[in-house]
Each structure stands twice: as structure tokens, then as C-alpha cells.
Structure 1
Amino acid sequence: MNSISKKVYALTLSMAMSIALIQPAVQAAEAVKPTAAVSESIVSKATQTLQQLGYIDGTTDGMKETATPITRAEAAIILQRVLELDAPATLTGFADVLSDHAAAPAIYALKQGDLIQGNTKGYAPDAPLTRAQMASLFTRAFELKDNGIQVIYSDADQIPAVHSNDAVRVKQHFIIEGNAFHAKQAVTHGEFASALYLALGLDVKKAGVTPLEDFFKQPAQAGFQMSPDGKHLAYMEPWNNRMNIVVTANGQDKPVRITSETDRSIASFAWATNDKLLYAKDAAGDENYHLYITDIDGKNSKDLTPYPNTRAMLVDPLENIPDEILVSMNKRDARVFDVYRINIKTGEAVIAAENPGNITGWMTDHEGKIRVAISSDGNVSSLLYRDAENQPFQPLLTTDLGDTFVPVMFTSDNKNLYAVSNLEQDKMAVVEYSLATKKVTRTLFENKDVDVSNVIPSKEKGKILAAVYETDKVNYEYFDNEFKTLMQDIKAKVPGKEVGIISTSDDGQALFISYSDKSMGTYYFYNSKTGKLDKLADTAPWIDETKMADMKPIMFKSRDGLDLHGYLTLPQGATASNLPLVVLPHGGPWARDSWGYIPDVQFLASRGYAVLQVNFRGSTGYGKKFLEAGNKQWGKAMQNDLTDGVNWLVKEGTVDPKRVAIYGGSYGGYAALAGLAFTPDVYAAGVSYVGPSNIFTLLNSLPPYWESGRNLFYERVGDPEKDKELLTAISPLFHVDQMKAPLFVVQGANDPRVKQAESDQIVEALRKRGVDVPYMLKMNEGHGFANVENQLDLYRAIEKFLNRHLMQ
């Protein structure tokens, strides 16, 4: 590939708004009478499964008597089998456990493995095992780590200090539930079997299913980009559990990792020049992204935006201006973003456009000059324009809430604008706008059913190559025959897959990704002149597509007559009858669900759940009226759309009405809370992942740089002063007395959008009512978990939580 001069850019028109074991010589008198804390059905299932696996036999371990206390000797016998521990050659160490004791091999095997402690004073093998002792035993045996779930016991002061952390660990891993721990209470054989069953994950393990970790692994390789001259290829791959940048010469297999981030994965990267790359990362999820520069060999790395509490965003890489880029930052004023011209060699930053306080976006012409800006107060927006950078901006047109005019790029002569607009119509269309006459001169494309969502412009050709619109799947309307032919040829090469173009070249080659609902994606090079297709990498080669489920587009009517679109994913091979269901509302809420590979969806389907995704009113992509139908309808009509989807599936016989859960993030987390609070009979469980619980505090704590959009929130959600009654009615926090289904809450401590207080409030309110709420709080995360170890903790917990409340 000799050159990459025809770069293809995809423009997204909406931004998403956007979880010491045993003290020696403990006497039997310490143990109190056991209670029937574990249901007989769970005990029976656990005992039966453990017996089938050969872990218990009912004779040497006493497991035939499930209601009687288990001794420490019997517990040791079982754990030696489970852990397959060899007994030491010499069975000595405890004065009360002689070598001929039936449990001696097991006890000394555990001692040798540092799973139990004790000294020559004795082990008390015939004493009942207490809950505190079991907690420490299991924490060590199964290496239970802190997964971030906040645990509060009402009797914490009665837990011996040596066991306190372990008491927390077992509850974090869903072994023991309830507000009280009962540290000295004797553990029955049945309770021990149930705890062991959970510790081994036997409640969620099924033969032949894809391991949880496979769904949430970091991509093997992703984000491929060619250097401007086409001589090098850059991509990201995991290193020390973090995504880092790798560069290789095009056509050679000699990759060199050029970054070594260990705290946080790199969020994104781009080529600055043929021998330098830009990349962005934040700290612990605070979303204050810094922009870094590094050489192609990883040397001379530098933070180009080393300013505290500042968010940096690339405006224009200025491909035709060596050593300079345009970056917007809110370092002067946290509420607004100015544009800076930064020298990537020296790091010198010079202000190129100062924000007067109401500018929400900037755009350059083909020469890298800032000539277009968008001003907004959240409701009224204006398109501003200037002929040259030394002139003041002048307004060209003004739009009200709901009306949209998004400039995409200048025409090749820098005289007109291409834009995506819904002015004087319901759906977004691609138009050309005259800067001289201040009018739309022509409409390139519009669809009667859905908005144009993206465009594919070519700076080199100075034109729009294609419009992108999304019905059930992504569709293209082509304006360039060469690009149309290229896309048709590529699609023919990867039948059954969707295609996303990354870049094209003068010599007829293309870098693209193919994907489906069962595949995260595969990167390819395609030579249109020779017809040769070269595979670069599978994003997730460990995923077996034959085991993934079909994501099927659906449509149903809301109770007030709206056509609602979405997706239904059923477990592979399952009969569409009486299935457990997880409703998965999208975040935003001014966004939409799309067809494709979604790890959460495939994971849930693989565990036997039907998954429903609804593009409820207020979602984007379906026109102005549909979007505005969601105004001031949080917790009301927007929530009804989700409920109507559940009722539709129940009526169809697809779903068991007693086994329905709701799980979502951000606005989806709010919808989960609202579902449990406002429709308590619909859901058997809920998971709120960084979801707001109190609309008053949500609006009061918007990030400073969202200040210009405050009026938008007031119009679309509600005004805290004018709509106080409404916001009180739709805030789940004020309606916890109506919640009766189990709730799991997930939060990142550094979330700048939905602050930790949103989750703290709802958890505290429920705990005051005596409701035990699992609450996972990760101190190094923000609005959603980015670090893979935290993601795995989250989904392991969700798997157990949903299984507990929908499958048992």
C-alpha cells in the first residue's frame, strides 16, 4: 500500500450522555444453636450436586444429616476432596489430632496448604464449625478477593477481628445473605453444602457454555489505523491487562508495542504524522482526558495537555500542517472549551479561538482554519460563521429545541457546507447549505422512516461519499460510484457480515472491519484492483460464533399507539416459551440500541435468558416527534414502553411473567430503579449500573462542561423549580417503599456524570428499611467500568445475582 490519501471519516451526530482461620482450641460451647437459614430446596440441590461430583459421601463427612452442625473435622475432609490436596507424609502438629484420627490426613493437608492455622494446643476437630470459621476457611481455600461490594453487618462488632475481612468476602461472593452475620453460630451440614456449592460457582456453571471471561476479555487486537503514507499500521492490544498501542510496518509481522500503560487503558489514538501518534487517556474514570504524543518507536512520549482538572479533545489533526494540531480544552474555564493550536514537538499551546461562554462546537475548513462554531444555551442554538480567522463570527441560522443542523464539512471550494439537518421536517437529512444566501440549496438524501445517523465524507474529494441511516441494521445511500463499487465488492467478499470502512487509498486498497451479531469483528485489507483479501486479525478469536444467539429485530405497539422498535435475543436452541427475561434499556437516554455483537446480550443469552432491548420514546434515530415524545417522560411513558415490551412477550407466551429482571447502565440504570419502584409487580430483580436515583441531585451535579446544556435537561427531563412535583414523582429515591424485588447497585467512585451519591442514596434508603442491597463500588472507576478485572467482578456478581432470583 503506497499511500493513504483518501481517508474516510465517520461522523457521529449524537454523543452518548450519557457497577487466621480457626483460633486454636475453640470450644464447642462457643457455638450457638444452628438456624434454618438456608432453604431446603437449595440444600437439596447443593447436596445432590456435590455428591454427584464425588465431593461428599454422607458417611465420613456426616452429610446425610443436613440439619445437624458440621464439625471442623468433617469440613476438612470435604475440602481436601474438593481441592485435591495430598496429605503430608507426617501427620503431626495438633495434640488432639493423632495420626490415626479419621480426619487426620485431611486436617494436615489443609494445614500444609496454609488453609488452617493452629498450634500444638489443639485443633478441636469435633467442635462445630462456626460461621466465622467457615468464612475464613472458604476465603483461603477459594482465594476470594475483594470485589468491591460494600458489606455492612448489623452485628459486625461481634465478629472476631481475625475473621472480619473474611466475613465480608463470603458475602461479597453471594455465599451468605442477610443483615446479620451470626459469627458464633454453628454451621449445619446443609449450610456448609450450600456455601460450598456457591463458592465453587456450581449455581451458575453449565456444561458446554462459553466461559464468562470470554465475553468480557479485552480484544485480542483492535482499532487498526494506517499511517498517512500507508507504510505503517497501528492498533491496540492488551498488555498487563490494559490496552496499549502497537505499531508494525505494513506487510511485515514485526510488531512493536510503543506504550506501556498499566493503570488505565488508552481510550483512543490517531496518527499525527507518518512517524508520530496521538493518544488519549484519563485517570481512574474521571473523564479528564489528556492528549499524548509519541514517536512511532515509542520514544519521546509527552503529555501535550498536562493541566489539572482539564478535559482535552482533538478538533483537527491538521494533516496538511506539519507539527501542529487543534485541541479544545476547558483549562481556562471548567465550563467551556477553548481551541488551542499545539506544537506536537515542543508542546507549546497557543489559543486559537477563545470561547465567549456559549460555544459548544467548532469546525475547520479544508485549510485547517476555524470558520464555523455552534453556540447554544441548551434550547436555542445558532450556527456561527466567519470568512477568515481574523474576523468575528456572525450568526447564519438559529434553531429551537428539537431542530437540528449539524455541519459536517465544507464543500471542496470552502464556500458551502454539507450538513445533517431536520429543519422544517421530522427526519434528519443530508443537505448542502449556502453560506452566501443562508439557505439550504439542495437535499442530498432523506429517509421517510428514520434519521440519517452518520455520513462518510471525503476531505480529498470535497464531497460526501455516502449517507448512513439505521433501520434494523445500518444502511448506506451512496453519492460516489467509486465508493459504492468498493463497498459492494467488499460485502461480496464477507457474505453474511456487515462492513465498516476505516480508510481507503489512491491505489485501490481499503482497510475495513466486518462484524455481525455473533462476531465482534475481523479486520481486513482489500485490494480492489486485484480482488485480493488479506485478513489482519480477529478481534475476539476465542468466541465461537456457532454458540452465539441471533439478535432479531422486533416491532410492537405501545399502549398509546406508537410503533416501538428494538431487538430480542433468545437463548440459542431454546423454545420461545416461558423463558426468563432480562430487559436491557439503553443509556442516554438520547441514544439508541443497534444490531451487532454486544457482550452483555450474548452473555445473558448464553445463561438461558431472553434479552429485550427497546428503543423507547426519547431514543434517537426515529425522528423529531419520536424524540420529543420522551420529553418529561422519565419514569412515565418512557418506562411504560419497556413495560409494554414485557407484556407483549408475556402475551406471546415467550416469557415467564414471574421471572423478569431489568438491568441497565446510566439512564438504563435509572430505568432499572424506576422499574422496581413504579412497576414493582413486573420485575423479580433489578441491576442499576451507574444509574441516577434522585433527579434533583442528578441535575444539581452535572459536570461543569455540561452547563451549556442545562436548559436541555430542564426541557427534556424537568426543571427542579417549575417541575418539582414531577421530579419528585419520577425519582426512585422517594419511592423506595414501593420496591419489593431484590436490587443490585453498581457504581464508580469517580463518575463525573452520575455521582457516587446517586447510588449511595438509594442503597442507604433501602438499608434503613432493612433491605439488604448488594452494592459494588469501585474506587478506580467512573461512568462504567473500564478495567477488565473490575468488569469481570461485575459480571460474575450479576451472573450469580440473576441466577439466584430468576433461575432458582
Structure 2
Amino acid sequence: MTKTMNACRQALLAGIAGCVLATAALAADKAPPSTSGATRDAADIFGAREAIIGAAMSPDGSKVAYLAADHTTGTAVMVAASDGSSAPHVAMTSDGAESILRWCDWADNTRLVCEATGATSYMGNQLVGFQRLMAVGDDGKNAKLLSNQSSTAIQVRLAQYDGDVIDWMEGTTGKLLMARDHVPEMDIGTKLAKTADGLGVDLVDTHTLAASKVEQPDPDAVNYISDGKGTVRLVEREASGSGGQLSGVHQWFYRRPGSRQWESFSTRTLDGPGLRPLSVDYATDSVYCLDNREGRDKLYRVALDGSMKTDLVFEDPKVDVDDVVRLGRQARLVGARIASEKGSVVYFDPEYQKLAAALSKALPGLPQINFVSSSADESKLLLSAGSDRDPGRYFVFDKTTKHLNEIALVRPQLENVPLSEMTPVSFRASDGTMIPAYLTLPPNGVKKGLPAIVMPHGGPASHDDWGFDWLVQYFAHQGYAVLQPEFRGSTGYGDGWLLQNGFKSWRTAIGDVVDAGHWLVSQGIAAPDKLAIVGWSYGGYAALQSNVVDPDLFKAVVAIAPVTDLDALKQESTFYTNHAVESDYIGSGATVVDGSPARHADRFKAPVMMFHGTRDQNVGVAESRLMNDKLRAAGKQSEVVIYQGLDHQLPSGEMRADMLRRADGFLRQTMHISG
């Protein structure tokens, strides 16, 4: 339940100056400290953040930039020669205390653009998120914020959101197209206050910050799409209703070639039918879109010449098209992802279709081939490869020489650690519906009578994917069987599976989660007295609510950043302009009363352990505290572990390791598991 920054303009927070990313925390510094050593236990090894968090190739193909995590919350921007001819060096670091680096990419061959997000407190108790973009030389010099907000003027609303890069251009001049949020300023007796309001598009020089207006700020605009050649072709608008509340109705408009006039393209509501533009194809003057037709998301191409000619590009008869695969400076669409058992990618581009097949043969045991980035001419490719038992590794492929060079491991600490196979299975729900799931057994070969965990995913508008999962693999390594049910309410399987959503349709969703536990016992996989449930976010909600539905089934509950009261979740968005939309999504009446585990603490029999970060903007830490108080007041066994300064993902290797260690210890003690 993320409150997106472009949809959360807070009129009630008038007069607050823009949040400025602390440059002191992002100055060039030493490389992250090593966390290797013989004293590290399984929790340290599995809880460690990725050694590489995203990567991008420079336009000329000579360098690769990536984020490298330390053992706590710190992150460094590293730059390496793509041919391995020189050691990586640090361009910038963040300690993660005020903001977290999320990604970096190349504006040109010497200039990087990086995004950081964080949260700040307002009036002592309101946690408000912010996003900032900054540019820095790959040598760590000439760092500049790409915000157009004033740090001294009095603004009429909070400047949470800097903007997005919508066109990376050719990568030769350091100039790019940015969708930027313009915040009006209060007039305090001068004529210098800015009056522009809303999301516009600027051509920005990342070296000098010189900017020229491409699209005037629009208070209703939430997104723009360019053609990859510097021309904006589509805009998405969401109008506000009474009290400044967003309507939830999204309207898309497009321009014909050479025109400045916007024309209607499509209209849709959340999860409803209607064309959702993704990427413009410059060569064919068309736009690729997803649309929900016949109950599933399919991929279409729509002409932008005024005819609205629509062609079906790809559909799967059983599952949704999840996303598209884009590559190169123009984000050219080369394929699509579908929610199949092993997360298939379907390539439309004949060259990449052939290349992916060849690479799969050249890299046995690493079937997940992802084209991550490329040089401007696509002669050099940065790709990753992985599997359920391999966290992934990065390669550089030179099309000219046909040379494939492995450059980095995503989780080097797990290189020689036995990992477990993730097997697609299905089980029968109580109403007879077959529910797909993933089963992971311990690597020691034991298959029956195991301590076992049902692990529902977060979202709820999400689904699990086949591949490496550090949380699943840790518990499997510790001797547990882990079942991940794709309960109804999950995305990826069409409208009939999504139902209303995992909140409004919680009875069916939680029923499927409970049935997953019964299946583990009926198959002899789980020892009946050693069956637990572990979940994160909505998964944490499902872990708790399943004990309201069937108090005798699970013998221990671990909930990480869980939703515990649906009314409380709605109240968290009170000061946001998407409050009405989010409230409608969650539901009301009996749905809220019966579906809130904090209101039914008396039904719990299993001990509960919860974990939560104090900077969680998705689900406030107060929800875990509320659940803990309710359980204890009802005489139940409950504990909540609070991590100061961490967000919803608990992005600290040290704290993740602590969480894993505590959770495993709790399960072993509660269910009397030896070892």
C-alpha cells in the first residue's frame, strides 16, 4: 500500500520548505566496509544486503556503475571498467541515516544521475516521504541536486518529489528530459515568488543545472512519456475532487507527430479496463500499452497517428502480462514478462530472442537471463543471470567479439552455501479451487515430518516469483519447509483470481493461506505441532488474520511490518490526497471490523513475534504496537521488536540478520525444535 509521491501532494502541509537531501551524507568517501569473516552465522550471511543493487552501463560501454551495500544501511555508488581492466572506485556514498540511494544511471559517459528516497517527521508524529535526484561526476566531483525547488522560499505545499527522468537522450551531452514537480511559493511582498504548480517537463543540463521548459507545469499531471528522442508524446492526468482529494480516474492524452495539441487516448480507474501506456516506439510512431481485456492483462500496440489502430502484440491464455522489458538509451521494448511458474520472459525482438536462448545454453543452471543495460549502440550489453539456487551474477557481453565476461556476484557470501530448489506445486482449497504455490525444502534432502512455514506474500496486489529469495532460503537452510501460496487476491492470474482485492476479499485470500497450512500437514511435509506462519507487510497481515480464522492450525506467528487494523491503515493516509481512493480500496463496514486481527486478539492461541521499522511509510509502526498491546491485554504471548530509523524493507544487513536470528530462535523455542 505505497503512497506514491506524485499522488501525495499535501495541501494541509502548507508553509513547509522543501526537504533537501543532506549532501554531507552523500559526499565521496571510502568503500563500504567488508562484512566477510569466519565468525558470521547463517543470519549474517542471508540477512546481508546485495553486494550489487542495480547496475547500468555508460553510453560508450566502457564503464559500469552500481550500488554496493555495506553491512548496515550505507550504500556506495561504485564505478568499474566494464572489461575489468581497473579496480572499481567510489563515486559517492550515503550512510542511509536520512535517505537511501535507490538507483543510478548515466547522463553521459562521465556523469551519473542517482535517486534517493527518505522520510522526515512533520509536527512531531506525521512521517512524510521525499524523493530527490542528484547528479555527480563518475569521479565523485561536481555533485548537484536536480531539484528546481528553492531551499529558502516559503512554499504553499511540501516539495516531496523532485521528478523522474523520462528521456535519457543520446548520452553525449549530459542533458536529459525530466518530469519535475513545481511548487508555488507564497508572495511575501515581492514579485519574485514562483506561481507555477504541478508536474511539468524540463530539458536539464546535469553539469550546469541550466534548464529550459518543454511542458508547462500541470496540477493534474502525474506522468509523461517521451519518444526517446526528446519529444513528449503522452501525458497522464488524475483530477482532484472536493477537498483536493484525487479522483482515482486516470486519463491519458497523446499528440500526433509534429502537433502540440493533446487528444484523448484512454480513461481508466484503479485495476479497471483501459489502455495503460508504457513505452513509445519511435520507429513505428506507436505506443505499447497494457489493457485488461477478457479478464487478463494483454500487451497492445496503438498507433499515434490519430487512427488509434490497435494491434495485439502478446497475450498468455492463463496469466497476465506482468511488465515489459526495455533496453538502450531509448528504452526500446524488446520483450514482456508473464506470471508463469518460472517467471518467463517472452522476447519479441528476434536478435534478443536468439541471444537469450544462446546465453541460457552458455550459462547452465542460470535460466533467468535479464538484459539490464547497454551501450548507446547496443554493441555491449550488461546482463544478469540467476536461478532459485543462485542469487545472481552480472556479465558484460560484447556482441562484436562474442566475449562474455562475468564481473560481479550479487551475494558473494553465499557462493559456496548449499541452497534449496524452489518447486512449483498446487494444492486444493476448501472450495475445490487449485491454488498455485512454491515449495522450498531444506537442502539436506529431508522431505517429511519437517518444521514448516507458510509464507504469504505482501501487496496484496502482488505475487511471488520463481527465483532466489533470501528470506525463504534462510529458513530452508535452517531446516524448515517453506510454502508460498499464490492465494486469491494475488495479481498475475487475471481478474477472476484478483477478486476485489486481498483486503475486500480477505475471507477468500486468508482461507487460501489457511488451506496451504492444512495441505502441508496432510502431505506429511509438516509435523502438525511444528507448523508456523511468517509474513511481511500484507503477508504479515495474513499471518495474523489466519490465526483469527483458524486459531488451532499454526503454532507460532512471525509478522514483519504487518497491517493489523484496517481502519488504522486507512487513517495513515488521512493527510494525503489519495486518502479517498485508498479508503475505498481497503473497504468499510464488516470488512474492516471482521478483517482486523487487532480487534480479535482474544481468538489467538499461538505466540506472536512482530518486527517493525520506525520510518515505515507503507504501514506505520503504530500498527505493530497496537497488535502487541491488544494481544497482551488479552493475556496472549506477544513481542514486538522495533528498529529505529528503518523503513518498510528494513534495509540494514545488521538488522535483517538480527531479525532472522530472533525469528528462528522464537520458532525453535515455541515449537520445541532442536538444533
TM-score (norm 2): 0.81
CA distance in 2, matches of 1:577, 1:17: 43
Which residue of the other structure, out of 284, 293, 302, is the alignment partner of 2:135?
293
Q: Would the aligned equivalents of 1:587 and 1:664 in 2 still touch at CA under 8 Å?
A: yes
Give 1:240 deviation, angstroms: 7.1
Give 1:666 deviation, angstroms: 1.3
The more displaced of 762-771 and 342-351 is 342-351
What amino acid maps onto 1:541 in structure 2? P
Partner SS for 1:288: strand
Give 1:553 deviation, angstroms: 0.7
Give 1:546 deviation, angstroms: 5.9
Q: How far does the alpha carbon of each residue in 1:85-123 deviate from its partner, in whole angstroms, 9 at most, with x for none?
A: xxxxxxxxxxxxxxxxxxxxxxxxxxxxxxxxxxxxxxx
Aligned to 1:776: 641
Change in Cα spacing, 1:566 to 1:339, as seen in structure 2 (3 Å) is farther
Aligned to 1:587: 458
Change in Cα spacing, 1:351 to 1:756, as seen in structure 2 (3 Å) is farther
Q: Would the aligned equivalents of 1:631 and 1:715 in 2 still touch at CA under 8 Å?
A: no
Change in Cα spacing, 1:703 to 1:430, as seen in structure 2 (3 Å) is farther
CA distance in 2, matches of 1:764, 1:548: 38
Unaligned runs of at least 5 residues, structure 1: 1-14, 19-206
Change in Cα spacing, 1:648 to 1:360, as seen in structure 2 (3 Å) is farther
Partner SS for 1:692: coil
Partner SS for 1:560: coil
Aligned to 2:192: none
Matched, 1:246 2:67: no
Aligned to 1:375: 237
Aligned to 2:111: 276
What amino acid maps onto 1:698 in structure 2? L
Matched, 1:750 2:585: no
Change in Cα spacing, 1:346 to 1:522, as seen in structure 2 (3 Å) is same
CA distance in 1, matches of 2:426, 2:544: 25
CA distance in 1, matches of 2:378, 2:59: 14
Aligned to 2:56: 225
Q: Would the aligned equivalents of 2:169 and 2:329 in 1 still touch at CA under 8 Å?
A: no
Give 1:526 deviation, angstroms: 2.2
CA distance in 1, matches of 2:646, 2:258: 40
What amino acid maps onto 2:373 in structure 1? S
Aligned to 2:372: 502
Q: Would the aligned equivalents of 2:302 and 2:310 in 1 still touch at CA under 8 Å?
A: yes
**Higher CA-based Rg:** 1
Partner SS for 1:697: helix
Q: How far does the alpha carbon of each residue in 1:368-390 deviate from its partner, in whole angstroms, 9 at most, with x for none?
A: 23331223466543222234898
Aligned to 1:332: 183
What amino acid maps onto 1:469 in structure 2? I
Matched, 1:533 2:404: yes
CA distance in 1, matches of 2:571, 2:78: 42
Change in Cα spacing, 1:279 to 1:462, as seen in structure 2 (3 Å) is closer
Change in Cα spacing, 1:339 to 1:670, as seen in structure 2 (3 Å) is farther
Q: Percent identity?
A: 26
Aligned to 1:678: 549
CA distance in 1, matches of 2:260, 2:274: 26
Partner SS for 2:354: helix
Aligned to 1:176: none
CA distance in 2, matches of 1:515, 1:586: 21
Aligned to 1:311: 161
Partner SS for 1:484: helix
Aligned to 1:89: none
Give the count of matched residue pairs. 598
Aligned to 1:366: 228
Matched, 1:215 2:46: yes
What amino acid maps onto 1:266 in structure 2? L
CA distance in 2, matches of 1:210, 1:779: 23
CA RMSD in angstroms comes to 3.1
Matched, 1:694 2:544: no
Aligned to 1:451: 320
Aligned to 1:557: 428
Q: Would the aligned equivalents of 1:520 and 1:540 in 2 still touch at CA under 8 Å?
A: yes
What amino acid maps onto 1:688 in structure 2? A
Aligned to 1:173: none
Partner SS for 1:254: coil
Give 1:261 deviation, angstroms: 1.9
Aligned to 1:123: none
Q: How far does the alpha carbon of each residue in 1:663-711 deviate from its partner, in whole angstroms, 9 at most, with x for none?
A: 1111111112212223211211112211121111211212866x34743
The more displaced of 763-772 and 353-362 is 353-362
Q: Would the aligned equivalents of 2:327 and 2:372 in 1 still touch at CA under 8 Å?
A: no
User: Equivalent residues in 2 for 1:603-752 (5 A)?
Assistant: 603-628=474-499, 630=501, 632-702=503-573, 707-708=577-578, 710-711=580-581, 713-718=582-587, 723-752=588-617
Partner SS for 1:781: coil
Q: Would the aligned equivalents of 1:16 and 1:587 in 2 still touch at CA under 8 Å?
A: no
TM-score (norm 1): 0.69
Q: How far does the alpha carbon of each residue in 1:751-779 deviate from its partner, in whole angstroms, 9 at most, with x for none?
A: 22212221221122223234452211122
Give 1:260 deviation, angstroms: 2.7
Give 1:725 deviation, angstroms: 2.4
Change in Cα spacing, 1:258 to 1:549, as seen in structure 2 (3 Å) is same
What amino acid maps onto 2:339 in structure 1? E
Change in Cα spacing, 1:464 to 1:283, as seen in structure 2 (3 Å) is closer
CA distance in 2, matches of 1:460, 1:346: 21
Aligned to 1:493: 362
Q: How far does the alpha carbon of each residue in 1:46-91 deviate from its partner, in whole angstroms, 9 at most, with x for none?
A: xxxxxxxxxxxxxxxxxxxxxxxxxxxxxxxxxxxxxxxxxxxxxx
Q: How far does the alpha carbon of each residue in 1:556-587 deviate from its partner, in whole angstroms, 9 at most, with x for none?
A: 23223433212011112343222221111111
CA distance in 2, matches of 1:535, 1:616: 38
CA distance in 1, matches of 2:552, 2:428: 21
CA distance in 2, matches of 1:804, 1:330: 52
Change in Cα spacing, 1:278 to 1:471, as seen in structure 2 (3 Å) is same
Q: Would the aligned equivalents of 1:239 and 1:260 in 2 still touch at CA under 8 Å?
A: no
Give 1:318 deviation, angstroms: 3.2
User: Equivalent residues in 2 for 1:456-475 (5 A)?
Assistant: 456-457=325-326, 464-475=333-344
CA distance in 2, matches of 1:618, 1:441: 30
User: Equivalent residues in 2 for 1:13-52 (5 A)?
Assistant: none
Structure (1 or 2) with the greater strand fraction: 2
What amino acid maps onto 1:784 in structure 2? Q
Aligned to 2:91: 258
Which residue of the other structure, out of 402, 408, 418, is the alignment partner of 2:278?
408
Q: Would the aligned equivalents of 2:200 and 2:218 in 1 still touch at CA under 8 Å?
A: no
Give 1:317 deviation, angstroms: 4.3
CA distance in 2, matches of 1:588, 1:803: 28
Q: Would the aligned equivalents of 2:233 and 2:255 in 1 still touch at CA under 8 Å?
A: yes
Aligned to 1:138: none
Give 1:420 deviation, angstroms: 1.9
Give 1:728 deviation, angstroms: 0.9
Change in Cα spacing, 1:769 to 1:460, as seen in structure 2 (3 Å) is closer
The more displaced of 388-397 and 541-550 is 388-397
Change in Cα spacing, 1:632 to 1:290, as seen in structure 2 (3 Å) is closer
Give 1:640 deviation, angstroms: 0.5
Q: Would the aligned equivalents of 1:685 and 1:743 in 2 still touch at CA under 8 Å?
A: yes
What amino acid maps onto 1:365 in structure 2? D
Matched, 1:235 2:235: no
Aligned to 1:513: 384
The more displaced of 411-420 and 531-540 is 411-420
